[in-house]
Chain A
Amino acid sequence: MEKARTTPSTTGDKIRKYLAEGKRFDGRAPEQFRDLVIEKDVSIKAEGSVRVKLGKTEVIVGIKMAIGEPYADSPTKGNLMVTAEMLPLSGARYESGPPKIGAIEWARVTDRGIRESGFVDFDKLCIEPGKKVWTVFVDIYSINDDGNLMDAATIGAIAAMKIAKIPKYDQENDKVIHSELTKEGLPLTNIVPVAVSVHKLGKTLIVDPTREEEDISESRVTIGSSKGIISSLQKSNSASLEMDEIKRIFEISTKISEEILAKIEKAIK
């Protein structure tokens, strides 16, 4: 995701050579994800939190809620803020300081994927029209980057939002009591926009790249979809795609998206 080219070109050549024969270093098929592990409640201070592991890639996601003012153009709707930060601890290539373009794109694509899908019923987050609404903060942090932070972030955000409970709100004193969570979850719909990125390496399309594979990925298309309906898409990187290629990518991504959702639902049961 960041520009640093830490994968030696000789390794890149080998990856491409293997892929031409349909093989990957870790034995996976081109359209096969790594094992997905979701652990719940990594922080008891959060309204809901998870750790997501895709192979050695790891992100943590926490939900916090606060009372805020609605935006002027949507007085009866709650707010959603999705932030994603690449922590310097998650790999040698990351440095402290203001977020670089890779991190900004990561955060914005993840944010749009959730916001635009209709996953959250924003009307139900309204407390007092025009004055008070819930703001839901979804904060995503990378812990270990072994490729595909993009998909891991959305998987984590969805899982954390699904298990989060709204904290108690003391209307008289206008205070949110974070230590007391109600039994009520976030108002979510059954449109769950799981993002699956498809990468083009040489002539092969793969999903869930490792860090080495992602470093030599020529083009990435991240698609958020639910039950075959696509709600967000972003093509990244310079290599162009044939019209037939991109049409096939729509099909691959939407198919795998449904498989991943089933895994998320099983893990947080």
Chain B
Amino acid sequence: MVKEFKRPDGRKLTEMRPIKAEVGVVPNADGSAMFQSGKTIAIAAVYGPKKMHPQHKQDPSTGQLRCEYNMISFSVDDRIRPGRNRRAMEISEITKWALEPSVMLEKYPNQVVDIHINIIQADAGTRCAGINAAAMALAHAGIPMRDIVSSISIGKLDKTLVVDLTKEEEDFEEGEGPTDIPVSMTSDGKVTHMQLDGKIGVKQLQESIDMAYEACKEVREVQKQALKDFIGELK
């Protein structure tokens, strides 16, 4: 006798928020993209590959990826003090780890690819949106990649697994409360990033990996379509 769980915005359990994606949003950049999921909007710009400065950080065996994740001060209800904070530094690193396996950096010894991610409007899932935008921006910049990384947050609200949490759902307080599980994957189902805060059993967490795989498929289609549209415009 399980009562069907109702999401605040009426979405089905495995239904993502409406996604919009677009490349070329920052004309100055070598590659750029916008990824919007519901009310969360991320833009990413890629500069490079270019010579690594400072010089002592150059690595003759491979190119390097540098990521910067930042939330714009007015992207949330209570203004965020501008500048780097520890949360942003950690997410920057997580983003780099999520993307690195897909980028053929070995082609660019001594060089660096800079990715700047800015969240201009936040309604949960900002790191996933940032990773999705960054992956598209890398492709848009023409940087050789093995695959494209897609990211989604799986949530557990009380006892029910759902896809793509909003802020309202993140603050859910009934029963076992919310569990947030952002996951990033490549198309072959390799997990390049995963985090979790909350409370969940092993079996259900294993299930959530399968859910993330299916959701990432949908995200990937949107990412690919935006890139194809861009090529269409060129023609």
Contacts and interface: CB of A to CB of B under 8 A. Distances in A.
Contact of B101 (A107, A116, A239): A239
A247 interface: yes
Given A108-B87, A241-B190, 17 more contacts: A104-B89, A108-B90, A116-B197, A116-B198, A221-B194, A233-B181, A233-B205, A234-B194, A234-B195, A235-B191, A238-B101, A238-B192, A240-B101, A240-B186, A240-B190, A243-B209, A250-B206
A112 interface: yes
Given A105-B90, A228-B202, A241 B197 contact: no
Contacts of A237: 97
Interface string A213-227: 000000001010000
B197 A229 contact: no
A23 B62 CA distance: 31
B199 interface: yes
B158 interface: no
Given A239-B101, A241-B191, A243-B191, A229 B201 contact: yes
Contact of A232 (B100, B191, B193, B197): B197
A230 B201 contact: yes
Contact of B198 (A101, A107, A231, A239): A231
A231 B199 contact: yes
Contact of A242 (B181, B189, B201, B210): B189
A247 B204 CA distance: 10
Interface in A102-122: 104-105, 107-108, 112, 116-118
A244 to B, nearest CB: 9
B202 A104 contact: no
B209 to A, nearest CB: 5
9 contacts: A108-B90, A230-B196, A230-B202, A231-B199, A232-B196, A233-B195, A235-B193, A236-B97, A240-B186
A232 B205 CA distance: 11
B127 to A, nearest CB: 12
Interface of B: 86-87, 89-90, 93-94, 96-97, 100-101, 181, 186, 189-202, 205-206, 209-210, 213
Given A238-B100, A239-B101, A228 B186 contact: no
A230 B89 contact: no
A24 B89 CA distance: 34
Contacts of B96: 238
B197 A105 contact: no
Nearest to B209: A243
A82 to B, nearest CB: 12
A101 B91 CA distance: 10
A105 B93 contact: yes
A255 to B, nearest CB: 9
Given A221-B194, A240-B190, A246-B209, A101 B89 contact: yes
Interface in A72-107: 101, 104-105, 107
A154 interface: no
A229 B202 CA distance: 7
Nearest to B65: A238
A251 interface: yes
A131 to B, nearest CB: 21
Contacts of A101: 89-90, 93
A250 B201 CA distance: 9
Contacts of A221: 194
B205 A250 contact: yes
A30 B185 CA distance: 26
Given A230-B196, A247-B209, A250-B206, A238 B97 contact: yes
A148 interface: no
* 7 pairs of A and B residues whose beta carbons are closest in the complex: A233-B196, A240-B190, A238-B100, A235-B194, A240-B192, A247-B206, A240-B101
B88 to A, nearest CB: 10
A115 to B, nearest CB: 9
Contacts of B193: 235
Interface in A174-220: none
Contacts of A231: 196-200
A180 to B, nearest CB: 35
Contacts of B191: 235, 240-243, 246
